[in-house]
Amino acid sequence: MDTVFLFFLLVFSLPHGITFSAAADRCDRRCGGFTVPYPFGFSAGCPILLSCDANASTPTATLPIRAPNGMSYHVVAFNSSASTVLVAVPPSCARTVKEARTALSGPNYGVSARTGLFLRGGECRAPPDASACSLPSGVISSLLRTAQCAAAWNDGTAVACIASAAAPNATFLRWEKAEENTNCNDVLTSAVFVEGKSSMEFGVADLGWWLDGTCAAVGDKGAGSCAANATCTDVRTPGRTTGHRCVCNAGLDGDGFSAGDGCYPPRFVHVSISTRWILLLAVVIVYLLSITIVACFLLCRRKMRNARKTVRRLSREATVYHDELGDNELDQGTTGPRRFSYHELAAATNKFCDDGVLGKGGFGSVYRGFHGGMNRELAVKRVSETSRQGWKEFVSEVRIISRLRHRNLVQLIGWCHGDDELLLVYDLMHNGSLDTHLYATDSVLAWSVRYEIVLGLGSALLYLHEDTEQRVVHRDIKPSNIMLDASFTAKLGDFGLARLINDGRRSHTTGIAGTMGYIDLECVLAGRTSVESDVYSFGVVLLEITSGRRPAVVTRDEEVIRLVQWVWDFYGGGAILDAADKRLSGSGIEGQEMERVMIVGLWCAHPDRGLRPSIRQAMNVLRCEAPLPSLPARMPVATYGPPTNSLGSGTMVMSSVGGR
């Protein structure tokens, strides 16, 4: 009782009671599965209006003005503390300066002075009173190829890199400096500059925004008023008027507006505790630790005395876990998938007849079935309940995939746990798995189909890693887990090894999981998986789809040729298309797409996980929204030392070698 009293005393003595501002009722800020910060939104009640592209595989926000050629500008990120928005500007050779200004300017936003323009034309030069910068020829060629400017990179077309076309201390870009340069035909793309240096990625523009009226005129009332703990700043707009912005004070998160989310402490708040409370907490910890040590000692001695009795007790507890706790856990949050009875599924699969087996895995078989009541074809996965790992995979798959909804994920229809059976029910994928088509001897999977599979798989991973409430690491991405429906749309399945990740990029899951050949070296050595290891597997699959080769091939001389090293050797020799599947033509647009997919595959499978792209960066390149990355000619090799603990990373030294 004393211990409980001390804990309650500690809890109630700490500061608490955080108040959050209510969101604006008249401004709809949701687009699909994400919410944009105020004052942005998608309805007429929002001060700064955006468009919601909810029909895309991943819903995105775009600027409301669409260019004459149909080009749209997607919002990449919001920065409430800097009052800016980062917008994607895809490379284009058919976008005039006037069109770019119209698309990137609005009533309450404009291009900031941190954005530099890349102008293109026969004798294009930077204005004399604008700061210019030099671009490497390789970057220029990559931008022109991405924009598909025919042979523009070989006909002497000049590209002017204007680091800043703004006056000193100005906030917004002075477009007239770019419009006065009549020798420049169009705006190729843009980039964000910090102290004269470009960011790592081209194809983005930094937009500053404001609300109408000065801080004094708005006061503390109205839609544009600042929330408590926020600072109001007047802004000189490009139209020579004065607007204002609200920014939360240092140490607080939020959009800063009373009509939005207001300002609030971060999720993890540092609380100052006096020395007296620290000493009291230390005494309580020592006291509890002593009790724990004594209890463990008594428990171990009791186990040694009553070995047989303990075994029977543990057996009974395991039965309770399977029959009661397990079902309760499965029922939580599974509002979509339904629970089937064993007799329903036995009738649907003709009593699990061997003639209906679609495939066999490490923890069970998959059967084809038809449910008459639902008038629906099914795929039923029968998991071995006697396997502890099989039970863990069964629970993991039901808990994780039941909360996911995406067109490129296999849909879980339901599950069954009864009559000593563990069954998972999915929609039937009529074209089976990807590996059966990649390595078929009597047919060839067309490149157009392969390319759509690549984009579909990338969209599924982008959803799992960045667009869900809690990140999901799949941990077993390979062609046999990529299913194809009747129209050859890719569906990522088999979430038995998947795990949810808390805040931060790294997973705290220990133990090796996945399939050899698709797991990166650090994951094998350190026994740790993360979103970066999923990206590695994605890269290997891209190379496998393009080359038609397995991740590792053993020659007659018993030499193991690994796919990543094999493709990298062709890349270093300037002939990466020689690594493509010989059954494909590899000419014209197909050849360009093959090259793009293989280079992105090498990028994702980089030995140093710190140099791998995020799945969003990889998808931007695959969708031709960003230039190809520049990789070393020889494949780097990562050398890892032994990890200092189960969750720590090992020492890594990068070197370049040419052997396999």
- Per residue in 440-463, pLDDT (tens digit) is 988 999 999 999 999 999 999 999
The residue with greater pLDDT, 271 or 383, is 383
Overall average pLDDT of the 315-326 stretch: 41
Domain covering 331-427: architecture: 2-Layer Sandwich (3.30)
- Per-residue pLDDT band for 648 (boundaries 50, 70, 90) equals very low
- pLDDT for 116 equals 82
**Cβ-contact 609, 528 below 8 angstroms:** no
Partnered with residue 423 across adjacent β-strands are 382, 416
Looking at 253-257, 423-427, 577-581, 635-639, which range is the least confident one?
635-639
- pLDDT for 202 equals 73
- pLDDT for 571 equals 95
- Binding site for ATP, by residue number, is 381
The residue with greater pLDDT, 98 or 33, is 98
Q: What percent of the chain stands above pLDDT 70?
A: 72
**Cβ-contact 415, 337 below 8 angstroms:** yes
Catalytic status, residue 476: yes
Write down the domain spans for the chain: 63-209, 210-271, 331-427, 434-656
* Residue 641 confidence (pLDDT) above 60: no
- pLDDT for 110 equals 92
pTM: 0.49
Overall average pLDDT of the 323-334 stretch: 47
* Residue 400 confidence (pLDDT) above 70: yes
Q: Are strands 412-418 and 338-339 parallel, antiparallel or unpaired?
A: parallel
- pLDDT for 514 equals 61
Residues in Cβ contact with 587 at an 8 Å cutoff, skipping those fewer than 6 apart = none
- pLDDT for 163 equals 53
**Cβ-contact 49, 36 below 8 angstroms:** no
Instruction: For residue 533, give the H/E element and its range.
Output: helix 531-547
CATH classification (class only), 434-656: mainly alpha
- pLDDT for 307 equals 52
**Cβ-contact 261, 246 below 8 angstroms:** no
Active-site hit among 206, 261, 467, 476? 476
Number of C-beta neighbours around residue 411 at 10 A? 17
- Per-residue pLDDT band for 265 (boundaries 50, 70, 90) equals confident
* Residue 231 confidence (pLDDT) above 60: yes
* Residue 77 confidence (pLDDT) above 90: no
Tell me the CA distances in angstroms from 560 to 9, 123, 131, 566, 655, one per residue in order: 64, 53, 54, 11, 21
- pLDDT for 194 equals 59
Rounded to whole angstroms, the Cα distance separating 208 from 112 reads 5
Looking at 201-210, 286-295, 378-387, 600-609, which range is the least confident one?
378-387
- Per-residue pLDDT band for 6 (boundaries 50, 70, 90) equals very low
pLDDT in tens, 479-538: 999 999 999 999 998 877 778 776 444 444 444 556 778 888 776 666 677 889 899 999
Give me the residue label for tokens 């590209």.
159
* Residue 239 confidence (pLDDT) above 90: no
The residue with greater pLDDT, 322 or 150, is 150
- pLDDT for 330 equals 52
- Per-residue pLDDT band for 48 (boundaries 50, 70, 90) equals very high
Tokens describing residue 115 = 């954005």
- pLDDT for 398 equals 77
Tokens describing residue 252 = 């607080």
425: left (phi over 0), alpha (psi -120 to 50) or beta: beta
Number of C-beta neighbours around residue 375 at 10 A? 7
- Per-residue pLDDT band for 199 (boundaries 50, 70, 90) equals very low
Query: Which residue, 621, 597, 615, 604, is CA-closest to 452?
Result: 597
- Per-residue pLDDT band for 275 (boundaries 50, 70, 90) equals low
* Residue 548 confidence (pLDDT) above 90: yes
- pLDDT for 369 equals 93
The residue with greater pLDDT, 401 or 50, is 50
- pLDDT for 373 equals 86
- pLDDT for 527 equals 65
Mean pLDDT computed over every residue of the chain: 77
Q: What percent of the chain stands above pLDDT 90?
A: 29
- Per-residue pLDDT band for 407 (boundaries 50, 70, 90) equals very high
Rounded to the nearest 5°, which phi and psi values hold at 283? -60, -45
- Per-residue pLDDT band for 271 (boundaries 50, 70, 90) equals very low
- pLDDT for 380 equals 92
Residues in Cβ contact with 540 at an 8 Å cutoff, skipping those fewer than 6 apart = 517, 518, 551, 563, 564, 601, 605
- pLDDT for 150 equals 55
* Residue 38 confidence (pLDDT) above 80: yes
Looking at 139-143, 234-238, 326-330, 359-363, which range is the least confident one?
326-330
Overall average pLDDT of the 641-652 stretch: 39
The residue with greater pLDDT, 73 or 32, is 73
